[in-house]
Amino acid sequence: RPSPSAGRPATATTMKIVTAAQMQSLDHRTIHEAGVPGTTLMERAGSGVAAVIEQQFGPLRDKTVTILCGKGNNGGDGFVAARLLHKRRGHVRVVMMAPLADLSPDAATMYRQFVRAAGKTAVKPFSSSVHTLLAGSDLVVDALLGTGLSAPIAGRYAEAIDAINRAQRPTVAIDIPSGIHADSGAVLGHAIHANITITFGLPKLGLFQQQGIDHAGRIEVVDIGIPDAYVDALDVRTTLLTESVVRATLPTRRLSSHKGTFGHAGIVAGSVGKSGAAAMAAKAALRVGTGLVTVAVPAGVNDVLEAKLLEAMTVPMPDTKARTFARAGLDRLQAFIAARTAVAIGPGLSTHPETVELVQTLVRQLDRPAVLDADALNALAGRAALLTECKVPPILTPHPGEMARLETDATAQSINADRLGTATRFARERGVFLVLKGARSIIASPDGRAAICPTGNPGMATAGTGDVLTGMTVGLLAQGLAPWEAACAATYLHGLAGDLAAAVVGQAGLIAGDVIEQIPHALTTIGSA
């Protein structure tokens, strides 16, 4: 996941995610207004690349590193990194994609500095022999093309990208994997598959969208000295969630605290065959620090749920013959919700007609912090306008399929094609907070803000992990976090718990219960009280 420690100082300030044009503007202001030469920015970038490589791959002494440099400033960053890795006793070879006369002025300067340090024999022109060089490398660095790319790649650059990918050596991309559109994340014909992407100044939007997610690998952000005032002046509403920001939002656990201090979460969940969803949500709420958790459950499922839960309480509610929530339980459910600090509705409810009608009525009357997920969202399919009747804006946590059912004429594919646009538009139009789950989950606010979560892994694509997120979110709401902070913190910690679980059991065999068990470790990892 992206590492804020390698970027701007690890404070509780947010880290903006920028487009290529916005980053170009920041570079231009830094050079022409702050008076920082372009070669100085390039030196800082290359130095950051060398530092991250050594941090991630260990001492480079006697290791063979092949760096492919394009003719622009991305190539210039590569020349700087090459010189510094050579200084660290690495066996560095640079493959040039263009003759010296075609290099940008700053890149040409850095090329000459590298040659003075390593000699001309360390520089190779691009040719068919590149396959041999790559095959004999311990590490490959992609300094071919930067964030300005907008047209499909062809010719020798396409050949170079394909050769790097075929070599299957550990690969580091400078600023962005060559061939990935810096804004959309789309592959422009050919694109590098990187293990690590070292990006400069601020993270680029394309690293967190579409194919950019798969091609970027781990993302490291390197500070190159863009003045904070210039960054603050950018009108950017999308940020990257960082550990420091999440840590700052979590409640303090004072010595005088008691269970009432940390709220009472209510969860309306479960039906026959789906009591596990209710149990996982309840356990997750407790693991994230909630003082009390009570689950309202159809009476016919209550005994089964009680057997699964030790620390959470249950309240049996009137049920249908199918053992789902019945319309007759409306008054009791309203009283249940009124007695809780925050409430979650949805895990394992079923789509029984009576239950759907009941959920629609409850949603209209929500007057406290709430999370709507799973079958509560399905109950709103085609009825999303009901959300505007909520007295307190709820948090919705749909996966792309559920999101498509909430939208008009949408499919999971169309949602994934524009995840950020979909999330921000829906949150603003419906007046809700939205967590659009998936690779690099997106949190959106009614005021137009959005955040992208860098934690999580493919092992979490398994049944029940969404119920865990629901429980964590309502648990943080019950502890007094505002909806935006609760949605962001729960999403980040959920992904981090999944990453910690995957480190123990691997991704393929990971189950939702593993994520629950790692929630306390996620909290201690970020240094919460």
Q: What torsion do the CA atoms of 313, 316, 322, 324 make, to the nearest 10 degrees? A: -70
Residue 474: predicted pLDDT: 98
CA atoms within 13 A on the CB side of 297: 31
φ and ψ of 455, to 5 deg: -90, 165
Residue 75: predicted pLDDT: 98
Contact 270, 344 (CB under 8 A): no
Residue 7: predicted pLDDT: 35
Residue 10: predicted pLDDT: 37
Strand order in the sheet with 313-317: 15-16, 238-240, 450-452, 442-444, 433-436, 395-396, 370-372, 342-345, 264-268, 292-298, 313-317
φ and ψ of 95, to 5 deg: -100, 115
State the Cα–Cα distance between residues 209 and 450, nearest whole angstrom: 14
Q: Residues near 44 by Cβ (< 8 Å), separated by ≥ 6?
A: 222, 223, 224, 225
State the Cα–Cα distance between residues 109 and 104, nearest whole angstrom: 9
Residue 506: predicted pLDDT: 98
Q: Give residue-wise pLDDT tens across range 227-251.
A: 999 999 999 999 999 999 999 999 9
Residue 409: predicted pLDDT: 87
Residue 289: closest CA among 256, 265, 307: 265
Q: Give residue-wise pLDDT tens across range 322-343.
A: 999 999 999 999 999 999 999 9
Residue 14: predicted pLDDT: 82
Contact 242, 489 (CB under 8 A): no
Which ranges of the chain have pLDDT less than 70?
1-13, 528-529
State the Cα–Cα distance between residues 80 and 113, nearest whole angstrom: 8
